Structure 1
Amino acid sequence: MKYNNSVNQFKLLGLTQDPDRQKIVFIIFFIFYVATVMGNLLIIVTVKCSRMLGSPMYFFLFYLSLTDFCFSTSITPRLLVDSLSSKKIISYNECLTQVFALHLFGAMEIFVLILMSADRYVAICKPLRYPTIMRRQVCIILIILSWTGSFIHSIAQIMLALELPFCGPNLIDHYCCDLQPLLKLACTDTYAINLQLVCNSGVLCTTGFVMLIISYIVILYSLRNHSAEGRRKALSTCTSHVTVVVLSFGPCIFIYTRPPITFAVDKMVEIFYTIGIPCLNPLIYTLRNAEMKNAMRKLWHIKTATGSRD
C-alpha cells in the first residue's frame, strides 16, 4: 500500500468525550449489537435449515441478513471498544479497512434490496413465468454479481481515500472511518474527490432508491387485477420491503449526496444507518412475515423434541 502522507494513525473523537456518557453509549450499543447478531443469525439459520423457506425471496433474505450482520460487525465492536477507552486510536490501515468494509456491505445491502424487489415484481406481475425466471441458478448468479459490484464499489472508495494526503491534524470527529470525515482532514483541495464520492456512492444510493420506488409503483398498479386475498398477501410482503427501503435509503442519500458540510445530526443519521438498520431489518421481516414465524416455530419444536429425546 502506498502512503502519500505523514500521518500513520488517527484519533476518533467518538460520540462523546464525557466518561459517564461513554458508559451509557457502551450499554446502549452493546444491547443493539447483541440484538442485531441474534436477530440476523436467527434468520440465517432459519432460512438455511427450513424446507418451508426455499423460495427466491428467502434466498435473498438470507443474504440480506448476512450482509446486515457483517455491516454492523464492521462498525459496532470498534465503537464499543472506543467507548471504554480514552485513546480511541485507529491506524491508517485499520481506517482504510473500515472504509472498505463499510462500503462493501453497504453496497451489498443496496443490491440485495434491488434483487428482492425484482423477485416481488416477477412473482406478482409475471406469476406464470416466475419459476422459470427466478430459478435457483439465476438467483446464485445475481448474488455473485452483487458481491462483485460491491467489491468494485469498495475498491473505488479506497482508491479515493489513497489520493488524500494527511499532514495533520489527525482528529476524526466521528465514531468510525468514512470518506467524508477523512476529506475534512486532508491537506489539499478535496472538491474533485468529493465530487467523485457523490458520483459513486451518491449515485448508487439515489439510483437504487429510484429503481425500487418505480418497481413498487408498478407492483401496486398491477395488483388492481388481483383478488382481494391476493392483494392482501402481496401488500403484506411488499410493505415490509418498502419499509426497509425507505429506512435504509433515506440516511444513505442524506450522507452521500451532499457537499462536505457538517450538520449537527450527521452522527445520529449515520448511527441509524450503520447500527439501527441492521437491528431493525430482522424485526421487520419476522414480525410481519407469517411464513418466517411458522418456520421458526417448527424449527424450535424440532430442536425441543430432539433435545427431550436425548
Structure 2
Amino acid sequence: MNTRTRTLQRIKKRAPGSPVPKDHKELEERIDKKLSQLQRHMDERLDKIVDALHVLDESLRKVSGRSAWDVLYDRTRNESCDFAGATFSLQWYWHKGKNSAIGYEDFKGHVQQMIEDTCRQARREHWLFQGLVVISDWHHKGQRQPDGHHKGYNGQDYHIHILTFAKPKTEVLKYMAKWWGDKNLGQYVRYGGFKGTIRYNWSVDYGWYVYLLDNYKGSTKGIGKIITMNTNKYNHHKAGEWISGLFKKTWSAEDWRLFMRPIGTYDRGAADGLVEQYDEFIEFDEGGDTVRNSPT
C-alpha cells in the first residue's frame, strides 16, 4: 500500500462524507495546504518559546552571570577576562602554487565575513571583547630581537593573526576557529598524524601585539591589513562598571600598549589547560617552516 492510498483512507476515516478528490494534483494541493498550516502553527509556538527563553535569559544573567543557553546546552564557560591570541592558516590545497589556490580578494572576503559574524554572535551571546585581526603573507625568522620585533620575509601563504581582550576570554576565538573550520579553510589539531592550521595563544603579553604589527608592516604591499572588531553590548553582562567601560569604544594603539602585560611576561599559569601543550601546528606548507612556539 503506497503513501497516497494510505492518505486517502485517512481522509475517508477522519472526514466521513467529505469528497475524496480523484485527481492526485488536487489531493497534493490539499495536503500541502494542511502542512503549511501545521508549519505556521509550529513556527508560532517556537517563537513564543524563544521569547520566553530570552526573558529567562535576562533574569539569569542578573542573578548568576550565566545565560539560558548555557543551561539549555549544559555549557560551562571560562568567565575570566584576559588577553588571548591565535593564528589561522589555510589548508594545504589553498596554498599558493596549487591548482585550487585561494586568491587574496577571496581570502580577505572570508576574513571580513568571519569578523562580521563574530561580532553578531558576540552581541547575541553578550560577550565583551576588543579585537585585532591582521591579514599577512609575512613569516618571522629567528627569535625575537631585543627591541621586541622579529625579522622575517614576505611572499608566504595568506594567514591571519588575532589578538583579543575578552570576557569570557575563550569564546570569541573558539567561535572564530569553528567558523574557519566550518568553511573548510583550516582546522585545529591537538595531536596525531595531521598538523593543524589553527593555533591558540592564551594569556598573551604585549609581545603578541608587536608580532601582529611585524606581520602587518612586513607583508607584501597591498596584502597586509589590520581590522579592528569589538562589541559594545556591555549593559546586560555582570562585568562591573569599570570592566564594562573598557568595551564601549574601539581601543586605540595606545590602549593596547597600556593595558597589556609587558613583553616577556606571557602568563603561562593562566592558560587554564585549555590547549594541549603539544598540539600539532604548521603555519605554512609542509616543506616550509613549522611554528611550534609562541613568539610571546
Q: With the length of structure 2 as denominator, give the TM-score of the two structures.
A: 0.25
Q: Which structure shows the bigger proportion of residues in helix conformation?
A: 1
Q: Which structure shows the bigger proportion of residues in strand conformation?
A: 2
Greater RCO (CA < 8 Å, at least 6 residues apart) = 1
Q: Bigger radius of gyration, 1 or 2?
A: 2
